[in-house]
Amino acid sequence: MWRSVGRLADGREIFYYDESPDQRRGAAADHRPLDPFSPSARLRHDPLLDEWVTIAAHRQDRTFLPPPDECPLDPSRDGRRTEIPAADYDVVVFENRFPSLATPRGGAPAADPGDPGLVSRPGVGRCEVVCFTADHDASFGTLTPHRARTVIEAWADRTTALNRMPEVQSVYPFENRGEEIGVTLGHPHGQIYGYPFVPPRIARIRQSAERHRARTGANLFDDVVAAERKAGVRIVTETEHWTAFVPSAARWPYEVQLSPLRRVPDLPALDDAQRADLADVYLALLRAFDRLFDTPAPYISAWNQSPVDEAGRPDPDFGLHLQLFTLRRAEHKLKHLAGSESGMAAWINDIAPEDAAQRLREAAGAP
């Protein structure tokens, strides 16, 4: 994998990850008449939950479901200029034009006026778009293992870079697939968020791990994987380096946790063997999800990585894992977050995890 770096017309960074050393796509010039990149976002503190909420009103104007011939994630070809100036690409990452979080270039954001009910701070951070392929009609599940490995290398490389940013505490690579999820661009792509705080899910996981360590002296991530491997009934697939299982208390109708057998805190810490194996097992899982129903599965693929300390170092006791789930519970039915889930964060699942694991095993083994 070879990386080259360029700049878009408004100053945003773009990174090309090529599978051939002959390419120098970072040199492609962006001639669009764009205004300088100057996003504005604020973080507001919820005192009841002790959580940060991002207010990013500028995102109301982001591109929404354009026709295929106007997709901004396609390469720039035939006189049509897009977010990617090059005429072709393998994998590309660039700063989001409509980010939820961004660090302004030059000058501190304006302070909020005095308000006794408001605690806020600048919405600094980083939001990047990851395009998996130049093929508009593809999906991650249709990629070759070689291309999937290139995406993995890009995830790891950008995680390392964002972890070094002083404003970033937690890096989150993810993919939303399907309009049912809320996807606004059909081109196969994902995103990477660099949060200036530890997001609630990761914070709760760390607290659980600390309590488990105090109670048992053992590592929670290791014990969960070992228990699922011993039980066996919720295992979807196992490889030399990875185990995929439906969590025993799964919240979503079809949900899988994918964990490396040798625990690492984040994607950069994976060795070559783990990365190569991940490319194959991840593709197998995505294809299994698409075999569950007659239509492609709308899904969220969420990498859970360790936050970093002030020196950019991850917690060695944290366990990297992937959370992959679909909202579809039946052929024409979605799992909606209704009163209990949305109002009280108390989840109700209509499908037993053991049944979901059986269906996913069958789908993973299908030709």
DSSP string, 7-61: E-TTS-EEEEEESSTT--GGG------PPP-----EEEEETTTTEEEEE-GGGGG
What's the pLDDT band for 110 if we cut at 50, 70, 90? Answer: low
The span from the CA of 13 to the CA of 37, in Å, is 11
Query: Can you tell me the mean pLDDT for 272-283?
Result: 98
The span from the CA of 15 to the CA of 4, in Å, is 6
Residue, of 52 and 108, whose pLDDT is higher: 52
* CA dist 71 → 52, 140, 181, 188, 315 (Å): 33, 17, 19, 11, 39
CATH number of 2-197: 3.30.428.10
Instruction: Assess whether the region 2-197 and the region 201-365 belong to the same CATH fold.
Output: yes
Residue written as token pair 């197998």: 284
Ordered by start, the domain boundaries in the chain are: 2-197, 201-365
Crossing angle of helices 272-291/145-163, nearest 10°? 120
Mean pLDDT score of the chain, rounded to an integer?
94
Query: Can you tell me the mean pLDDT for 221-231?
Result: 98
pTM: 0.96
Query: Can you tell me the mean pLDDT for 327-347?
Result: 94
Instruction: Tell me the longest C-alpha to C-alpha distance in the chain.
Output: 63
Residues annotated as part of the active site: 189
Per-residue pLDDT tens digits for 155-165: 999 999 999 99
Q: H/E element holding 128?
A: strand 126-131
For the domain made up of 201-365, give the CATH fold. Answer: HIT family, subunit A (3.30.428)
